[in-house]
Structure 1
Amino acid sequence: MWVQFAPLNVPLDRRLQTAAVLQWTFSFLALAQCCLLLYILLFCSQYWLLPLLYSVWLYIDWDTPSRGGRRSEWVRGWTVWKYFANYFPIRLVRTAPLDPRHNYIFGFHPHGVLVVGAFGNFCTEGTGFSCLFPGLTPHLLMLSAWFRVPFFREYIMSGCLVSSDKKSASHLLSTKSTGQALVIAVGGPPEALDAKPGQLTLQIMKRTGFIKLALTHGAHLVPVLSFGENNLYYQVDNPPGSLLRTTQEKLQKMMGLALPLFHGRGVFQYSFGLLPHRRPVYTVVGSPIPVVKNLSPSSEDITSLHAVYVEKLKDLFETHKTKYGIGKECQLVLC
């Protein structure tokens, strides 16, 4: 295979964009492991008192990720996120205003390999979330296991990431003020195994937990489609029923994490590596679906609202797909 190298005369602005995405990729794939290793090494060194004190802090602060986290507007506003968003570029598209007097659950689709669109739009100000949706406070839900990693937890909480457990979501929707926007990657890690260029397969038909959560707290539902999310990486062919897919699914059930075999580009060449490709991502936020609070929703209530949500998601796809680079022949696959 021929390697396509990057030209030497790349403008400084594009180099900075690549550097911004490089640090993010490292943070996503390796920072947690490095933080854990640092924690262990400090315990085995003359500086053992530092991790010991941090352990005390960790014990005291254990529930913070499930109680709204500890966001930092300063971190969310770092200039590096502008470069990060412009690398692809990522663009956040508003189709309707959202009243900050209500709480919302954003159903984000698709998960993609590394949830790039969800992070860029809702964990940073790189695409201008606060300008497009004034009065709303976004919270991206993430697997709770990541908040057990020393040091790493502080960094991800600063970007408005919170634990994805039920306690966390209920806290934000019941004890915080209005204007809370919970962002849930509905398909979860299993959907990452279907993240391939030119395809849009969403795992939603059996996902009703977010619907029940919306009913219980009276939070309005907002479908969100990130066009181009699946085009950022290539993935080894793993059709359902294949040995690779079966192995991946078993590992996912054991570990809670999907393990797609993917590749993108490198820093100095475009043929292989772990950086995502420079391809546009348009994250379209649909119009809200009003939800009346129901403390004890029946299965019929959940099924009915779920059907409405799915229809709104389909409409959002059909309305915007050709506008944002999806061919007319491309179909939305729901499973």
Structure 2
Amino acid sequence: MCAPTTAKEQPQQQRLRKIPLLTRINIFLINLAFAVLHVILKPTGLEPIISALAVGNLFGLILPCFGVIAVLAHIIVGPILNAFLPNAYETYVLEYKWQWFGALFLLNVLVGLMDDSHHDVEGANNRLKSSTNPIIQASNAFWMSSFEYVQMTVKPWAEDATLPLNRQYIFACHPHGIHCMPLAIFHGKGTAFDRRFPGICENKLSGLAASVVFRLPGVREFFLSLPYIDASRHVVERALRADRSIFVCTGSGEESLLTKPGEDTLVLSRRKGFVRLALSFGCDIVPIFGVGNSDLFKTYSWGMGFRMWLQKRLHISIPIFHGRYLTPLPYKKPVTVLVGEPLCLPKPKVRGEKPDDELVEKYLKIYIERVKELHKQNTVGRKLQII
């Protein structure tokens, strides 16, 4: 067991980060769209399927979102505007709809390029949680229903396993798959992880996402409405100095390109950053392994050489995949999220100092062996490749 520490206090209410007004409006509209979908789909039993489809189509999420928003605008905004000025909606909005659309799109791109709210580590506390706002309640219910479709069970390393709230953790998630679904267990209250380890998701916990996702209209709103921050080293170091724990998929985009159903391929032997950070700040590393995450989509190796070149040179990952019915809907297969025993690293003499390279190599090798053992003990006939 790891020695106790007092680095973190019990969960407490934290301020939310400040984000631009336009982004707040977009988040409200997106929540409204998903709230409407919840109300419409809940009685039909189709909500888990559509929610899982939205998750699988994460980076195309803006299209269906704004489709619903456009319908809402036509039904609600139009009559309200016409009540003040007869035919104003048809004359000034519909007549110039493409100009309005172009201007709003460019404005969103500009805000996305200039806004750095994803660097605000202290305020990264937005997450799926209980709310008195009926729109937020309904929107959260829509997203939570995806767990009914992609059923993720959490299996800790021991029946009596605990994660003390007075520790600081780096949750290292594997494998990435097309989408790193196990990351969702950290998004807030009510998930399988939150029920098994209560308090962790509320106790200053942030996820790491690549800088590019905070620049894409629609996608950035999704990540800013959850507890994600920029994965840049200086931002992560600020988060750790503020005694926050983090969760991250260590294999990132390169690992997504190597996804094959029935196999688990981890890009790990060269990924020393999370170990270096853990040694610098005295964090425990907790391995998180989603067995079955690689099986949720069918993947193809077409043009792999060029796509790997893009990933290595420009950090752009373009996996070729599909789910059920040739859509982004994941195949309906269970995912067992293994929570490994925390790897306790030695505390630094000076918090934040750069650790010795040999020490980093030593603990990376120990961590890799822990991951191999975790996989071996909980799978049968499933190939694990670590590169």
- Which of 134, 138, 157 does residue 224 from structure 2 map onto? 157
Query: Deviations for 1:50-93, whole angstroms, at most 9, x for unmatched residues?
Result: 9869967985x524435245332456872223310110212223
Tell me the SS of whatever aligns to 1:297.
coil
Paired amino acid for 2:248: I
The alignment's C-alpha RMSD in Å is: 3.2
Is the aligned partner of 1:264 residue 2:323? yes
Name 2:287's counterpart in structure 1: 223
In the aligned structure 2, how far is the partner of 1:192 from the partner of 1:91? 22
Tell me the SS of whatever aligns to 2:343.
coil
Name 2:312's counterpart in structure 1: 253
TM-fit CA distance, 1:195: 1.2
Paired amino acid for 2:278: A
In the aligned structure 1, how far is the partner of 2:249 from the partner of 2:284? 16
* Greater share of helix: 2
Name 1:15's counterpart in structure 2: 46
Paired amino acid for 1:117: P
In the aligned structure 2, how far is the partner of 1:191 from the partner of 1:32? 26
Distance 1:159 1:73, change over 3 A: closer
Paired amino acid for 1:123: H
Distance 1:285 1:154, change over 3 A: same
- Which of 36, 48, 62 does residue 31 from structure 1 map onto? 62
Q: Which has the larger radius of gyration?
A: 2
In the aligned structure 2, how far is the partner of 1:33 from the partner of 1:252? 27
Cα contact 1:208–1:306 (8 A) shared by 2: yes
Query: Deviations for 1:192-237, whole angstroms, at most 9, x for unmatched residues?
Result: 1221111111111111111101001111111111000011011114
Paired amino acid for 1:252: Q
Tell me the SS of whatever aligns to 1:140.
strand
In the aligned structure 1, how far is the partner of 2:314 from the partner of 2:286? 30
State TM-score, norm by structure 1: 0.78
Tell me the SS of whatever aligns to 2:337.
strand
Tell me the SS of whatever aligns to 2:237.
helix
Cα contact 2:253–2:317 (8 A) shared by 1: yes
Paired amino acid for 2:214: F
Name 1:8's counterpart in structure 2: none
Is the aligned partner of 1:279 residue 2:343? no
In the aligned structure 2, how far is the partner of 1:213 from the partner of 1:109? 18
- Which of 87, 105, 122 does residue 149 from structure 2 map onto? 87
In the aligned structure 2, how far is the partner of 1:146 from the partner of 1:274? 19
Paired amino acid for 1:333: Q
Paired amino acid for 1:85: F
Paired amino acid for 2:375: F
Is the aligned partner of 1:305 residue 2:363? yes
Tell me the SS of whatever aligns to 2:155.
strand
TM-fit CA distance, 1:292: 2.2
Cα contact 2:278–2:284 (8 A) shared by 1: yes
In the aligned structure 1, how far is the partner of 2:163 from the partner of 2:322? 37
Cα contact 2:286–2:341 (8 A) shared by 1: yes
Q: How many pairs were matched up?
A: 300
Distance 1:51 1:301, change over 3 A: same
- Which of 204, 227, 243 does residue 268 from structure 2 map onto? 204
Name 2:100's counterpart in structure 1: 45
In the aligned structure 2, how far is the partner of 1:126 from the partner of 1:254? 39
Name 1:117's counterpart in structure 2: 182
Name 2:162's counterpart in structure 1: 97
In the aligned structure 1, how far is the partner of 2:113 from the partner of 2:126? 19
Moved more, 12-21 or 274-283: 12-21
Name 2:386's counterpart in structure 1: 334
Identity %: 26
Moved more, 73-82 or 14-23: 73-82
Moved more, 148-157 or 196-205: 148-157
Name 1:6's counterpart in structure 2: none
In the aligned structure 1, how far is the partner of 2:63 from the partner of 2:211? 13
**Structure 1: which 5+ residue stretches go unaligned?**
1-10, 239-243, 267-271, 322-326
